[in-house]
């Protein structure tokens, strides 16, 4: 299989090189129009929380972030506050972060290690699998069915080194089914479970989550919004694209490929001369760089249509695998992370915040996605489909 994969990758890279030579790019069939209210409407935002995040699996962490038994993280999902926690048998559970007595927030910290979750209000406690363990002053409380009073569990699964959850209790989760055969195989081929998440940060922005997600599927803005940073390394608006229905990916040539504009590269591998961008529907961008991965996820605010959280993670091989001393390895990723943060804060976020304020214009007029904005079109098409389908009764 790996031979087929690398042959296929080299062919896609050559297609991108060909586009670069001809000043063309892959395109989808037609221009797609949209309206400003899609980024401000509270009712649509509610439907997205329920029909998108409440129905399909999305990534909430890399497995290495809760590597050991009793490790936990808390996550604000669009519909629920959630604790993800590593169990005694090594599996992961997702539990709604709320005490079943009178609803106090059980766990306020972002992450840590707990053998049990103990409520700050009246000190009821729960095992890490959500089972109710202790009712304080139980003799005075009256008869209750303890089995009905465990923490509410959400569907969760670990696959390809990530923890995925559906933000609605009572559903079945099937990550492979959601990914489909192509994307499931692609992610499987990257052995992402062998990497570590060494940097992780969340950015809370006054911007609709779709505006945010769109910016990180966009190969068209690089030269204009990032002239002195990203554009020094990556070509603008040149993509060899594959459509997998709910997901897609495209390769974009890096500037190092320019030496092959005149000369034929022959059979040599050009993998170090491209970035591969994956859209994992409905809210994730996975960037494959020559020596590491970058994962970006976008989640709507639980209430406001004009706010969202972006999480950025750097997934890297261990120093031994990378062939670096611990010190050089740390310095490498520190520097990498600093550059990413600088570009986000100085270049992407200001444009996106301003765009969101513009979307409040009552007479915005129609806007559009071009045929060249391939991944953005896949994202938009997926949301349209999810919002159109009525959930099964
Ligand atoms: S609300 Fe948690 S113990 Fe009362
Ligand atoms: Fe950007």
Positions of CATH 2.102.10.10 in the chain: 61-159
222-240 average pLDDT score = 97
Residue 22's φ and ψ, nearest 5 degrees, are -95, 0
Task: Write the CATH number of the domain with boundaries 61-159.
Answer: 2.102.10.10
pLDDT for the residue 5: 82
- Mean model confidence pLDDT for the chain: 96
Per-residue pLDDT of 255-281, as tens digits, reads: 999 999 999 999 999 999 999 999 999
pLDDT by residue (tens digit) across 32-86? 999 999 999 999 999 999 999 999 999 999 999 999 999 999 999 999 999 999 9
3-state SS class at 54:
coil
* Per-residue pLDDT reduced to its tens digit, 340-361: 999 999 999 999 999 999 999 9
Give distance in angstroms: CA of 68 to centre of ligand 1: 27
For 304-323, what is the mean pLDDT?
97
Predicted confidence band at 169 (pLDDT cuts at 50, 70, 90)?
very high
Beta strands in the chain (DSSP E): 32-34, 58-62, 71-76, 81-86, 92-96, 111-113, 116-118, 125-127, 132-134, 153-154, 156-159, 162-165, 196-205, 240-243, 248-253, 274-280, 284-288, 293-300, 308-316, 367-369
> What span, in angstroms and rounded, lies between the C-alpha atoms of 353 and 359?
10
Rounded average pLDDT over 224-249: 97
Cβ of 101 less than 6 Å from ligand 1: yes
Three-state SS for 103?
coil
135 lines ligand 1 (CB under 6 A): no
pLDDT tens column, 196-213: 999 999 999 999 999 999
What global pTM score does this model have? 0.96
Q: What is the pLDDT of residue 1?
A: 42
Percent of the chain with pLDDT over 70: 98
CA 242 to centroid of ligand 1, rounded, Å: 51
Ligand 1: nearest atom to the Cα of 136: 3
Q: Which of 102, 117, 126 to mutate to test the pocket of ligand 1 (most atoms within 8 A of CB)?
A: 102
- Residue 372 CA to ligand 2 center (angstroms) comes to 16
Averaged pLDDT for residues 134-149: 97
Q: What is the mean pLDDT of residues 216-240?
A: 97
**pLDDT higher than 90, residue 386:** yes
- Tokens 């950025």 locate to 312
Residues 188/268, Cβ–Cβ less than 8 Å: no
Does residue 132 have a pLDDT over 70? yes
Q: Which CATH code is given to the segment(s) 2-57+174-388?
A: 3.90.380.10
CATH 3.90.380.10 residue spans of the chain: 2-57+174-388
**Burial class, 268, CB count within 10 angstroms (exposed 0-12 / middle 13-18 / buried 19+):** exposed
User: Residue 231 C-alpha to ligand 2 middle, in angstroms?
Assistant: 10
For the chain, first and last CA: distance in Å?
Answer: 41
**Predicted pLDDT at 393:** 44
Q: How far apart are CA 265 and CA 161, in angstroms?
A: 34
- Residue 391: the pLDDT is 62
């Amino acid at each position: 299989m790996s031979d087929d994969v690398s042959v296929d990758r080299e062919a896609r890279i050559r297609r991108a090189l060909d586009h670069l030579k001809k000043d063309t790019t892959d395109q989808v069939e037609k221009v797609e129009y949209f309206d400003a209210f899609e980024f401000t409407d509270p009712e649509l935002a509610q439907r997205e929380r329920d029909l998108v995040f409440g129905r399909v699996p999305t990534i909430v962490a890399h497995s290495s972030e809760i590597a050991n038994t009793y490790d936990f993280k808390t996550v604000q999902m669009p519909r629920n506050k959630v604790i993800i926690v590593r169990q005694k048998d090594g599996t992961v559970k997702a539990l709604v972060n709320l005490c079943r007595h009178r609803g106090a927030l059980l766990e306020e910290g972002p992450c840590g290690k707990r053998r049990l979750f103990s409520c700050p209000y009246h000190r009821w406690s729960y095992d890490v699998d959500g089972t109710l363990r202790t009712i304080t002053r139980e003799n005075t409380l009256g008869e209750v069915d303890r089995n009905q009073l465990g923490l509410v569990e959400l569907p969760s699964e670990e696959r390809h080194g990530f923890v995925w959850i559906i933000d609605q209790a009572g559903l079945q989760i099937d990550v492979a089914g959601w990914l489909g055969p192509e994307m499931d195989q692609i992610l499987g081929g990257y052995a992402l479970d062998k990497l570590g998440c060494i940097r992780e940060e969340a950015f809370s922005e006054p911007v609709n989550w779709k505006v945010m997600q769109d910016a990180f599927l966009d190969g068209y803005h690089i030269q204009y919004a990032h002239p002195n940073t990203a554009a020094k390394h990556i070509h603008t608006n040149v993509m060899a694209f594959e459509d997998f229905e709910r997901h897609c990916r495209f390769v974009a040539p890096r500037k190092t490929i320019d030496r092959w504009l005149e000369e034929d590269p022959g059979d040599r591998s050009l993998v170090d001369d491209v970035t591969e961008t994956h859209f994992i529907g409905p809210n994730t961008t996975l960037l494959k760089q020559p020596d590491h991965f970058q994962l970006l996820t976008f989640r709507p605010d639980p209430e406001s249509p004009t706010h969202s959280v972006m999480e950025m993670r750097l997934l890297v091989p261990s120093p031994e695998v990378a062939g670096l001393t611990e010190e050089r390895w740390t310095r490498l990723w520190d520097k990498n992370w600093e550059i990413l943060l600088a570009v986000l804060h100085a270049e992407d976020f200001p444009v996106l915040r301003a765009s969101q304020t513009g979307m409040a214009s009552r007479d915005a007029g129609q806007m559009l996605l071009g045929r060249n904005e391939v991944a953005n079109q896949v994202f938009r098409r997926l949301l349209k489909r999810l919002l159109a389908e009525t959930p099964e009764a």
